Structures are given as structure tokens and as C-alpha cells.
Amino acid sequence: MPQQAVQTRSIANTIDEMQAQFSHLKTLSRTQPINDWDTRETQLDNLEVMLSDNQESFAKAISADFGYRSESETQFAELFPSFTGISHARKHGKKWMKTQRVSISAVYRPAHNEIQPQPLGVVGIIVPWNYPLYLAVGPMIDALAAGNRVMIKMSEAAPQFAQTFADAVAHYFSSDMVCVVLGEVDIAVAFSKLPFDHLLYTGSTAVGRQIMAAAAPNLTPVTLELGGKSPVIVLDDAHLEMVVNRVMMGKTLNAGQTCIAPDYVLMKRQHHDQFIHLAKEWMKKHYPNIENNPDYSRIINGDQFKRVKGYLDALSGGEIYPLTDAESNMETRFMPPVIVSDPAPDSEVMQEEIFAPILPLVHYETLDEAIHFVNSRPRPLALYVFGDSNSNIEKVRDNTVSGGLCINEVIIHVAQHDLPFGGVGESGTGSYHGKAGFERLSHMKPIFVQNKLNGLNLLLPPYGGLFKKAMALFLK
Ligand code: NAD
């Protein structure tokens, strides 16, 4: 009986289809590992052409999911880092994948040591809704450059983009390389239980815990790119106009729905009134007539809108300063930015990741107090510090631990392909992007190569005088 060919597809809509495609990719990864650069480069080329050909339809689909998002934001925050990430991997990938000679202790010479980066096999990627393009493509770049096959679970909260992206992948990639999984949370749960060779998850910390638990029985290693509250510390000598310019940029981009958006600001009370004045002026200049401004995004869905509105409605303590004349609108999911001054520490805006255009201002008296404030909360994904004095900036740098640190800037560190990107503690496990991502999604296999001539035979039993003399040289 001739064996029936397995029907493989680049899109899975059901748990059965997903499992069949996973088995297919896993078998291929064990029988046809991608050890050459040409095949990997071709995948990066395919990804680039796919993005280039579909950028408009991708931006339109994302906008439809959000109820509106400007194409420029999608270009700036999703397409730009995707294209530059592909170029970076294509430029350096061949070098990254080379087996490297590394040093060896004189005791073992003339043997030598090598590290060989090998593909892990099949990498699973789980994508959130806030930047559904870049958070699918970024991990894909690293996984494909490292010679892996890839399965991607798109977010059910951005279904139009998920379908558009899946259709494009089916067109530009072989089902022997990439599969996109569509569907609701039940499929996401089943996806996280597949015995991937690595699972890279981007999303909330709460679901991150479930992902780690789902991966544990398979001993699947995970990279968890999670959320949390990313604080801004404003030092006494910071240029307030610059602070407001950068913080407001970070808070209004995608209407605050950015994992590394500045969540709240810690500053001296003396800056308070001027900060609010400058923030209002900034809004007039950059988002005039905000309700109809084509650069300002909507909140992704009604549940998220209610969640954030609820934070403001239930606010204990603190004062709300609207930064524009516009009112929020549940129907259109339009939410104008506001500042909340001095919120109670136990209020939701100070307990939960805000993920919306609400900016709490918290006041400190001494820098030690500000550092303590940050350190007494979960480790942030990003920390931002603004100021001129090197000694105070270094004090913040050396006495806080965060996924990443930006000095006199916000958000832009995520686009540095020469820097690893990731969280620490509750904001994430492991990092990726560029070489760090390549190594994260490779097995960096250590290889010891013995020489015909070597001294180890002199140390065999029975352990005599020579052995004792040799040990005496090393044992302290
Ligand atoms: P989410 O955790 O609700 O969902 C993310 C993905 O997980 C979706 O694809 C969903 O299908 C899947 N999922 C949901 N429940 C699951 C389960 N029980 N098992 C397996 N998979 C499941 O997150 P979200 O609301 O889409 O994204 C917002 C969060 O993501 C924020 O906290 C934000 O800070 C974080 N985030 C982090 C980064 C980063 O790089 N660290 C980037 C973007 C967003």
C-alpha cells in the first residue's frame, strides 16, 4: 500500500490541524535540519517581500481591529523595526551561525574547544494584540535566522490582522517552514501545550504564568516577554520640556497600548504644575483636534476600554487633569490622554499595568525614596531616567533592576537590534532581538575536540606520584 501523503497547510484553524502541522514540522526538523545559511536567508527574503507587498493591507487590517489606528503608527512601530530587523539578521546571520573556536585552558592543550550554534527545531510564538505585526515578525526573524521552523498563534483580539497575516504567510512561505494558527483562547491553550523546542510568548504576566506551567511537562524552554509598569524617574536637573516631549510621545503612541510605554512618572513636586502645562501644550501641538486627529489610535476593544475607564472611575485619592478638551467615547473607543496626580498607592492605576493614555504623577522628596519606590514593586520591563547629572543617573542605573534602561529617552531601546530585549522577574524571562535572539533560539552546542597527543592518559589510575604532583599544582 502506498503511504498517503500528509496534507500540510500553512494555516491551522482547529486543534487537529494545528497538531498535524506541528507533527509535520517536528518530523522535518529531525530529518532535515536547516544547517545552511542559504535556506535561512531565503526565509528572511520571503519575510521581507511578504511585508513589502502587504504593508498596506496589514496596516488596514490592524486599523480595522483597533477601530482605528493610523497607518503611520503601524509603519513607525511595526514595519520599521521589522524591516531593519530583517536587514540586521541578513547582514550578520551567516557570521552568527559559524562554529566558533573558543579559548581552552593550557592544561588541556593541544585539544581545542568550539561552540556550534544549531537550530532548536520547531519554535512556537504566541502573539498579543497591541503590536500584532512586529510581535509576530520580530520573533520570526530570530527563529528563522537560527534555522528553525515556526508556528505562530495570532491574537484572537486582533482577528482581521490575524487572518490577513495568515493568508500572506500561506502565500510566501512553504508549509514545511511556517504555520500560522488562528482561533480563540482554547486553541492558544492547546498551542502552549505542544512539545515545542522553544516557546516564545509575548503578553500579560498573568497568562505568562499559565504558559510556563503548560510548557513545564514537556520541559519546553520558554522566553516570556511580559508586561508591567515601566516607571520614569525625573531627576532635579532634567530638562522638563524634553521629559514631557518624550514621555508624552510614549504615552500617546498607540493610545498608550505599548508594553514599554512610560506607565507613571516619579518627580519632585516643584515640577508638577509645569509638567501639566507642558503636557497640555504638547497635545495641542502634536494632536490638535484629537477626537478627529488621524494620528491618534483607539482602544482595541470594549473590554479594554471598560477596564481602563474603570480605573479612572474608581480612583481613590489623586486628581485627574485632562490634557485636551475631548471626552472619552465608549462607542468609538476614543480615550483622550489624562494625567492623574498623586493617586493612592493602592489604586488600580498604581497597582495594574495601565496600557492606556493615563499618566500618573507620583512625587518624591529624595532620589533614594524614588529608587526605593521602584525597587519595592515588581521588576519593570523598562525604566526611564531623565536628567543631566551623571552621578545621579548612575545611581539609578546601579541601584535598580529592570528589563531595559533608557537614559533621557523612552521606548526606542526596543528598536536597537544590537541590544537584547526582554524583561526580568515579573516582566519576563529571557531576551531576544539580533544576536541575542539568534542565540536564544539556537542550541549553542559546546564541542571539545581531543588531539591524538594529550596528557590526560598520565592521570589514569592507579593514581601514583605523577598524579599527586599534578593535583598539587591545582588543588588549593
Ligand atoms: P494576553 O496575555 O491576554 O494574550 C496574549 C496571547 O496569549 C494571545 O495570543 C492569546 O491568544 C494567548 N493566550 C491567552 N490566554 C492564554 C492561555 N491561557 N494559554 C495560552 N495562550 C493564551 O495579552 P494581551 O492582552 O494580548 O497583551 C497585552 C499584554 O502583553 C500587556 O501586559 C503587555 O505589556 C504585554 N506585552 C509585552 C510585550 C513585551 O515585549 N514584553 C510586548 C507587547 C505586549
pLDDT band per the 50, 70, 90 thresholds, residue 3: very low
Nearest ligand 1 atom to alpha carbon 204: 32
Q: How many CB atoms lie within 10 A of CB 276?
A: 17
Give the tens place of pLDDT for each residue, 215-246: 999 999 999 999 999 999 999 999 999 999 99
Give the tens place of pLDDT for each residue, 326-368: 999 999 999 999 999 999 999 999 999 999 999 999 999 999 9
Q: Does the C-beta of 381 come closer than 6 Å to ligand 1?
A: yes
Mutate which of 220, 259, 383, 432 to test ligand 1's pocket (most atoms within 8 Å of Cβ)?
259
Q: Please tell me the predicted confidence (pLDDT) of residue 458.
A: 85
CATH of domain 230-422: 3.40.309.10
| 3-state secondary structure (DSSP) of residue 432 | strand
Catalytic residue among 259, 348, 353, 426: 259
Burial class (CB in 10 A: 0-12, 13-18, 19+), 343: buried
CATH architecture of the domain formed by 11-226+428-446: 3-Layer(aba) Sandwich (3.40)
Distance 457 CA to ligand 1 centre (A): 55
Which three cell numbers mark 257? 497600548
**Atom 18 of ligand 1 has which residue's CA nearest to it?**
189
Q: How many CB atoms lie within 10 A of CB 104?
A: 15
Q: Please tell me the predicted confidence (pLDDT) of residue 7.
A: 58
Distance 206 CA to ligand 1 centre (A): 9
What is the DSSP-derived secondary structure letter of residue 388?
S
Residues 47/67, Cβ–Cβ less than 8 Å: no
Q: Does the C-beta of 225 come closer than 6 Å to ligand 1?
A: yes
Report the predicted TM-score, pTM, of the whole model to 2 decimal places: 0.96
Distance 411 CA to ligand 1 centre (A): 19
Give the tens place of pLDDT for each residue, 145-189: 999 999 999 999 999 999 999 999 999 999 999 999 999 999 999
Give the tens place of pLDDT for each residue, 142-151: 999 999 999 9
Q: Read out DSSP for 7-75?
A: ---SEE-SHHHHHHHHHHHHHHHHHS---SHHHHHHHHHHHHHHHHHHHHHHHHHHHHHHT---HHHHI
| 3-state secondary structure (DSSP) of residue 462 | coil
Q: What is the mean pLDDT of residues 92-104?
A: 98
**Atom 34 of ligand 1 has which residue's CA nearest to it?**
227
Q: Please tell me the predicted confidence (pLDDT) of residue 454.
A: 87
What is the DSSP-derived secondary structure letter of residue 366?
S
Phi-psi sector, 10: left (phi>0), alpha (psi -120 to 50), beta: alpha
Q: Please tell me the predicted confidence (pLDDT) of residue 6.
A: 46
Q: What is the mean pLDDT of residues 192-206?
A: 98
**Atom 30 of ligand 1 has which residue's CA nearest to it?**
203
pLDDT band per the 50, 70, 90 thresholds, residue 15: very high
End-to-end CA distance of the chain: 69
pLDDT band per the 50, 70, 90 thresholds, residue 81: very high
Q: Please tell me the predicted confidence (pLDDT) of residue 9.
A: 85
Q: What is the mean pLDDT of the chain?
A: 96
Give the tens place of pLDDT for each residue, 31-76: 999 999 999 999 999 999 999 999 999 999 999 999 999 999 999 9
179 is catalytic: no
Question: What are the backbone dihedrals phi and psi of residue 76, each rounded to the nearest 5 degrees, phi first?
Answer: -70, -45
Q: Please tell me the predicted confidence (pLDDT) of residue 317.
A: 84
Q: How far, in Å, CA of 404 to CA of 394, rounded?
A: 14
Q: How far, in Å, CA of 427 to CA of 425, rounded?
A: 5
Peptide bond between residue 221 and the one before it cis (omega within 30 degrees of 0): no
Q: Where are the domains of the chain?
A: 11-226+428-446, 230-422
Nearest Cα to Cα of residue 226 among 259, 275, 190? 259
pLDDT band per the 50, 70, 90 thresholds, residue 127: very high
Q: Does the C-beta of 211 come closer than 6 Å to ligand 1?
A: yes
225 is catalytic: yes
Nearest Cα to Cα of residue 134 among 74, 93, 179, 88? 74
Residue 4 has pLDDT above 70, yes or no: no
